[in-house]
Structure 1
Amino acid sequence: MKKLVRVLAAAAAMIGAAFVHAAAQPQVVYLTWSITVDASGSVTRLDSESRLGPELKDRLEREIRSWRFKPGAIDGQAAVTESKLHLALQVTPIDDGRSSLRVVRAGTGGGYGKMVAPNYPEVSVRARRQGLVLLKVRYGEDGQVSELAADEGAPYADKALVDAAIAAVKRWTFTPEVVGGRPLAGVALVPVCFGLRGTRFSPPKCEWNRPGESIAADGDDPTPAFDSVLKLETAVAGRTP
């Protein structure tokens, strides 16, 4: 799974695939599946896009297959829907290498295709400016960006950082949802976090509020917010797989 872009001065970097590993403290990991749901709302296909051990993969996918979804529709009729399932999972070590799991958040929608890392503007580096740029992106049925701008509800961001994020993201592609075999245009909120490297600099606060959620996503949260046709009807936050 490709994560949110965190841009560092002198080294623009995209964080790679998420995976679960033993740790002394609870941690949140971010996982993605390609998912297909039939017209009745039942899961018929799950393909993990994250690195998972067989035991954990089976455990999570058994849980996900028990969830109910509302598929997209064509001419008012429910149809087979292909989407992405984005899962935030808290992992708490117990003992003997075992961990307890708790679902923090689950969302559906499109996915990232090709991504280009933004350049950190020299003017922003000299001025020691950091922070979050939150972009509202519209993309077509082919996954190509058709329109983008800073989201109106986003925190203030330095204009040079906004321009750098827009210049990069306009070259991205997205994976559209597919309903009844037909790909759909979509909308996504995409976070880009700019941070300066070095002990003199505190990590930037890249929190942002997802539509309809009271808990802010932090700067390590890779998941964009998609306007999804596939709806998750089961209340899963707080559940233990």
Structure 2
Amino acid sequence: MRRLGLILMLLCVAGTAWSQGAKAVREQAEASLLVTATIDIEPDGRVSGYRIDRPEALPSYAVELLERRIPSWRFEPVKVDGVAVPAQAPANIRLVARKTGDDEYAIRIAAVSFQPRNSDRGKQDLRPPGYPATLAKAGVGGTVYLIAKVRADGTVEDAFAEQVNLQAVTSERVMAKMRHTLARVSVAAARRWTLKRPGDVTLVDGCWLVRIPVDFIAPGKRHPEYGEWQAYIPGPRDESPWARGDDVPPDTLLAGGMYPVQRRGPRLVTPLESGEG
């Protein structure tokens, strides 16, 4: 687990002064690993099978944790025309590691969502946000989780930043400004987008809603490959004015995808961490 410790220690320190505030923020640092899988669900809600995508690319201890936990999950029965039926659900599972001592880390399943990507952002003409020069120069990266309110013709009426996770450590005050900056440029870019409407979304007041994660990769850095841990400071989650009560964790969604808000997956009714071990 020493490699994991190195990842947490390599979080960028923004600015020149190492303040007491920054030390307190660093204690909030998490390393996150997003795993995708497919879950087979029986009519009574039991898990009858599962397939973890590319297990050979994942750390063995992560695979072992999932193999202990997933079989114990139970779902609300999936019904079609009022009748419970077997179902299959794609899963995005976020593992989180936090330091508990010298070279010791606690790893847990922090969140899961059961929403497939409906389209590939790469096939659409989405101009990315401009990288704020001051943050790029400081090596500050992050991810902005947007909700876009999209008209029937695909133009974006408005956008909202639900959460901003940073790959940088400084004081809470400075980090709040960084989050605001990344959110502002992301929302401005999204308002210029035209999106292709998935066939299975429902229009509400003439619009449909979609979640889109936007990554800012600092100069000289690269996006983590599947199976690699990524260190960050989690930001607070703000509730969108258009999706109140929606409980999908935005940071379980993979960059490069679009996720219609109205499309709901199966509902898990047991704790994520139930099971032996």
Q: TM-score range by the shorter chain?
A: 0.5 to 0.7
Q: 1:209/1:39 Cα in 2 relative to 1: closer, same or farther (>3 Å)?
A: farther
- Structure 2's unaligned 5+ residue stretches are 9-29, 137-141, 163-179, 203-208, 221-231
Aligned to 2:146: 134
Instruction: Write the letter of the residue equivalent to 2:268.
Output: L
Aligned to 1:234: 270
Report if the CA contact (8 A) 2:45-2:78 is conserved.
no
Match of 1:119 among 116, 123, 127: 127
Report if the CA contact (8 A) 2:143-2:213 is conserved.
no
Match of 1:108 among 92, 104, 114: 114
Report if the CA contact (8 A) 1:133-1:162 is conserved.
no
Determine if the alignment matches structure 1 residue 162 to structure 2 residue 197: no
1:152-209 C-alpha deviation (Å, 9 max, x unpaired): 6758634651145x34xx3597xx9xxxxxxx657642222457758xxxx9x98644
Secondary structure of residue in 1 paired with 2:66: helix
Secondary structure of residue in 1 paired with 2:63: helix
- Measured in 1, the distance between the counterparts of 2:153 and 2:49 equals 30
Aligned residues: 197
Secondary structure of residue in 2 paired with 1:102: strand
Q: CA RMSD in A?
A: 5.0
Aligned to 1:41: 45
Q: 1:128/1:86 Cα in 2 relative to 1: closer, same or farther (>3 Å)?
A: closer
Aligned to 1:70: 76
- Structure 1's unaligned 5+ residue stretches are 1-19, 139-144, 177-183
- TM-score normalised to structure 2 length: 0.50
Determine if the alignment matches structure 1 residue 189 to structure 2 residue 216: no
Q: 1:232/1:196 Cα in 2 relative to 1: closer, same or farther (>3 Å)?
A: same
Q: Percent identity?
A: 15
- Measured in 1, the distance between the counterparts of 2:134 and 2:245 equals 35
Instruction: Write the letter of the residue equivalent to 1:119.
Output: R
Q: 1:103/1:234 Cα in 2 relative to 1: closer, same or farther (>3 Å)?
A: same
Query: Deviation of residue 22 (structure 1)?
Result: 2.8
- Measured in 1, the distance between the counterparts of 2:270 and 2:250 equals 21
Instruction: Write the letter of the residue equivalent to 2:184.
Output: A
The structure with the largest alpha-carbon Rg is 2
Q: 1:114/1:21 Cα in 2 relative to 1: closer, same or farther (>3 Å)?
A: farther
- Measured in 2, the distance between the counterparts of 1:38 and 1:77 equals 12
- Measured in 2, the distance between the counterparts of 1:136 and 1:239 equals 37
Q: 1:22/1:196 Cα in 2 relative to 1: closer, same or farther (>3 Å)?
A: closer
Structure of greater relative contact order (alpha carbons < 8 Å, 6+ residues apart): 2
1:122-176 C-alpha deviation (Å, 9 max, x unpaired): 7x868999984713478xxxxxx98573446758634651145x34xx3597xx9
